[in-house]
Each structure stands twice: as C-alpha cells, then as structure tokens.
A and B are shown apart, each in its own frame.
Chain A
Amino acid sequence: MNYAVETFDLNRSFKLKKAKNKKENNNTPGKLIALDNASIKIHQGELFGLLGPNGAGKTTLIKILSTLLLPSSGTALVDGVDVVKQPDQVRKRINMVSGGEHCGYGILNVRETLWMFSQFYGIPTQVAQARIDVLLKILKMEEFAKTKIGKLSTGLRQKLNFMRGFVCGPKIMFLDEPTLGLDVQIARDVRAYIRTWMKENPERTVLLTTHYMAEADELCDRVAIIDKGKVMVCDTPGNLKKTLAGEAVFRIEVPLAANGMETFGQISGVKQFAYEHKSHLGRTELKFILHDESAISNVTEFLSNNSSKIVSLSKMEPSLEDVFVALVGRGLKDENGSQN
C-alpha cells in the first residue's frame, strides 16, 4: 500500500516560559504538548481530513509534514520520504495553504505573484502562465489578474493564496483551514476546486485540517479527530457517524445561560453534553447525546425544574461534530468543555 503520509508516534512539545508564580509551578519552565504520539496513515489519492478544535495540534502536524518544524520524537514520512532526514526531497512533493494567511507583495499584481511563486518550484514560465489562466478562470479571478494584490479585499487575497499553492503543481497538498474567514460563495468555490483538482490526477493527495465539521463531512474520504495532540479516531465520515447509530442526538435552545452548565451532563441517560453560547441571539444551544431517545424526558424535566425555558427542541441526525462531542466530551466551541 502506498501512503502519501505516514506518521509514527509523532510527538512535539514546546517549552513555555518560566511561571511567575513560584509556589504554583516551582519556577520550572512548563511544557506544552502539541502532539502526543500521533500516528496517521493517509493513502495516496485520498482527501483526508484532520478535525479538531483550536489548539488540538492540527497546524503543528502540518508544520512538521511541510518541514517547517522538527518533531520532538517519532517519525513522519511524506510520499515515503522522511521529513527530518530529507526535507529537500519532501519539499519537491508538497505545498501548503493556510487559511487566513496572505502571500506575496502588495506591489505585484495577481498574475505576477502567482508567477513568482511558481518559479520557486522551477516551473517553466509558459507552463506557469497556462496554469495561472486555468486557476483564474475556475476561481473566478480573471478580472483581477492585473490588480495589485495590495488593492485586493481580504477574501480575494485568501483566494490568491489558495491559487498560489496549486499553481506550483504539488503531489501532496496540505490545506490548513483553507476556508477560514471566507464568505460562503468563495468558500464554495474553494471546496469545488479541491474536488476538481483531486479528480484530475488519482495520485494527488490532500490533507485538510478544519474545525468546520460540515466541510470535512462534505469533502473528505476519511477523517481523523484530534484533540490535545492525540488522534482519537480515524475512519470515513459515514462510519464515524454510525458509531452514534444507537444513540439519540438532541438540540435544545434555552435563553442565554452563563452558569451551571456542568450539571446538564449529570442528568440520567445523558451520554455526552456540549453547549455553545449564541450571545447575538440571546440563546445557549445545548447538545445532548443520549443513551436512548426516552432519556429526553429526563432532560426536559431537569430543565423545567431549574426554571430554564425551552425555546426550541429538535432531534438531529448524528453529525461529525456529535462524534467529536461523544469522543471528547465537549463541543468544538465550548470554552471550558463539560463532562458527563
């Protein structure tokens, strides 16, 4: 089996500055574990998603695979090449696009910027220009080809950065939150292009990190869920959702609640619980994964005993986010998390 990416017990930790409070930390430098024995295998030709909340270790993994960071221990192979021992060989095979990032120089126009980056990969100018034409057309950027990038909107600059990654013709593409902050239409264009690019050549592989579960569900052949540097589970989105087949997922909206969230997880029949405050709507969304459907009566009773008015209640099909909640015990957007 040919793997585009393989990692074996990959660890990465960062030294933290000495704690100011001597009593609490004995004045020894702390350590942040970004990756904790992370092992994944991505097949050639696969669109693989790495899902997790902010700080889960997704970007750290991508930085190691793209030779920007050394692992503390463990091995990472890209197209069979060791990222530590032969970084130059790895770089010939890869490219990376980080969402929310820009590239190039404001003084150059879009076409010049894409040409410049293509030259770092030794692409003949004629080939590069042809690729640029295709990308500009597919991503609806033709009218901006001669616009200086300093004059582009944030979304268009992100789109340019996205094109920059693909114009270099990588075999393996690392996309780190590529649709972060993009408006709906641009994000749709970006996702459509990823699918088209994959279809063009069966040897192409994409590792996509995202915390948009719907995006992963829509795009990915397989996904791994990562939290606190650990790979929790890895399978197809369909199989992952099937793990919740015997359970019931309910969403309940209540008026904005600040305290006592931890008590919801203790209701009888609740397997996992997560919440998200929607301050702009003045509501808190509670998500319950129940051992069986009948336990919903315990939940409503608990809420009514605690004078919580139910604004809405709906039963939902399990999503990848629910899989995450079931595994980790908190939602992707929980500030502190909640355990049952």
Chain B
Amino acid sequence: MKTDLKTNFKAIIARAYVRIIAANREPSWWFSETLLPILSTAAYVYVYKALKAPPEYTGFVILGGTMSAYWIQVLWSMAAQFYWEKEMGNLDLYMIAPISRMSILLGMALGGIIQTTSRAAFIFLTGSLIFNVSFAVVSFPKLIAVFFLTLISLYGLGMLFSSLFMLYGREAWHGVTLLQEPVHLISGFFFPVRNLGFVVGVVASFIPLTLGLDAMRQLAFKAGAASGFINVNLELSVLAVLCVIFLVTSKYALELMEKLGKKEGRLTLRWQ
C-alpha cells in the first residue's frame, strides 16, 4: 500500500515534470499564450472605455483574461490530452503501468497549473499595469480560497472530460471546440455574469469559472459586490462541492471508460 502510494506520487511528479519543462523550452508558447491573450483582453478594455463603463470593468476584464488562460489550458491540454496521448502511443504505456490513471491526470493537472500560472500571472500583471487597474481586496483569505477552489474544480472538470476523450477521440474533440466560445460568453469572462440573468447564471455555474470569477470580482474590486451574481460565501460552498463532484466523477468515469475500452477493443484504437 505504502509502495503503491509512493509509486503514484512519483508518477504525478514525473508527468507534471513534462509540462513544467515544456513551459521553459518553447519560447513561442510564451508569445501565443501571453501576448495574444493580452491583445484580446485589451480589445474589451477599449470597448468599455469607449462606452464609458465604470472603471471597475477594466479590472473585471483583466481578471477574465487571466482566468481565460486556465480555461484554454484545461480544454486543450487536459480534456483533449488523452486524445493526443493515444495518437502518440503513450496511452498504452500509461495503461500498462502499475499506477492509478488518476495519477497521470493529477500530474497533468499539477504541471498544467504551474505552467499556466506563470502565463496567467504575466497577463494579470501586465494588464493591470498598462490599464492602471486599482484593487480593493475585501478579504485575502477568501480570495485565495476562491482562486484555489476554482482551479481545483476547473481541472477536475478537465479530468472528467479527458476520460471521455479516451474513447471518443474526434467526437469529443468537436465537443470541446463547441464548448470554447459559448463558455467564454456564459461564464462572464469579460463582464459580470449577472447581466445574463439568473437562469443562465445558474446553468453557467456548472462551469467553475463562472462562480470563481464572480466571487473574485466581488472580493477584489470596490464595486464588485454590487455587480455580483450571488453571495460570495455561497459561491465558495458551491465551488467546494463542484471540486468533490468533478474529482470523484472523473475517477469513476475514467474507470468506466477504461473498462469499456478494454471490452470493445477501442482503448488503443487510433485515428478514430
């Protein structure tokens, strides 16, 4: 049991290592994942400035742009990762290793968080400096708790998606493509989600970024509470529940998909 835990821990670190190393070895990724998001974020800032929106909206947009880096990473490098692993021949090797498949996913998530945080931080700091964003943090502990719960539940969602990718390569790929832009809209990346109405807000709350962003805006900006969707404490609780749901569901979904794949012979079938 102790040996198994140790092996799984080593597997998490080893898989995370790939992403951490990759962050430093591909300078072109820095360009596409930091400068380009800053440009799209800047576009929203100028729209709000032109419309003479309250100054807090600039901060809302910068925060949305920062968290957007995580969403893109979760979609394409978490959810879709097993598809790539299968095509590259690595999935077979993970499946025959004496480790929990969750260790691979956790390693991908951990590495992904570290890799993306450096980029997200760059977007956040650069955007804040360029557009002179002023913050008025209500509660640092709550802000940190919201940030981490958002990341854990978001990567938990990514892990759940990745189990689907294990069997449904191309179909799942199309699904993720379909998700990318609508989620940008309904999760309120660039505006408070309250503007979409209560029903859309509740539906969008299944994507952890919706409540995470809303709570962070309420906690970090002076006028944030006035434009908040629901109470921050409630948002914290829902995020905690989402963390548990996504992590537990992803474990069972992974086991189910693996069993199904081994039964149908699709686990290692490529070019689907």
Contact = CB atoms under 8 A, between A and B. Distances in A.
B97 A14 contact: no
Given A67-B95, A67-B96, A68-B95, A103 B89 contact: yes
B99 interface: yes
Given A102-B88, A116-B15, A107 B7 contact: no
Contacts of B25: 107, 148
Nearest to A100: B89
B50 interface: no
Given A70-B263, A108-B18, A122-B6, A103 B93 contact: yes
A158 to B, nearest CB: 11
A68 B17 contact: no
Contacts of A67: 95-96, 262
Contacts, number: 85
A173 B14 CA distance: 23
A197 interface: no
Nearest to A32: B265
B136 interface: no
A122 B89 CA distance: 21
Contacts of B94: 120
Interface string B6-27: 1100110111011001100110
Contacts of B89: 98, 101-103
A92 B99 CA distance: 9
Contacts of B96: 66-68, 91, 94-96
Contacts of A119: 10-11, 13-14
A116 B14 contact: yes
Interface string B94-111: 111111000000000000
B268 A112 contact: no
Given A107-B21, A107-B25, A116-B14, A69 B92 contact: no
Contacts of B22: 105, 107
B267 interface: yes
Nearest to A161: B89
A69 B6 CA distance: 27
A8 interface: no
Interface in A73-105: 88, 91-92, 94-96, 98, 101-105
A15 B17 CA distance: 40
Contacts of A191: none
B90 interface: yes
A115 interface: yes
Interface in B33-65: none
Nearest to A123: B10
Interface of B: 3, 6-7, 10-11, 13-15, 17-18, 21-22, 25-26, 88-90, 92-99, 262-265, 267-268
7 contacts: A12-B265, A66-B96, A67-B262, A101-B89, A102-B88, A107-B22, A117-B97
Given A63-B268, A117-B93, A120-B14, 17 more contacts: A15-B264, A67-B262, A68-B268, A69-B262, A88-B98, A98-B89, A102-B89, A107-B21, A107-B22, A107-B26, A108-B21, A116-B14, A116-B15, A117-B97, A120-B94, A122-B7, A122-B98
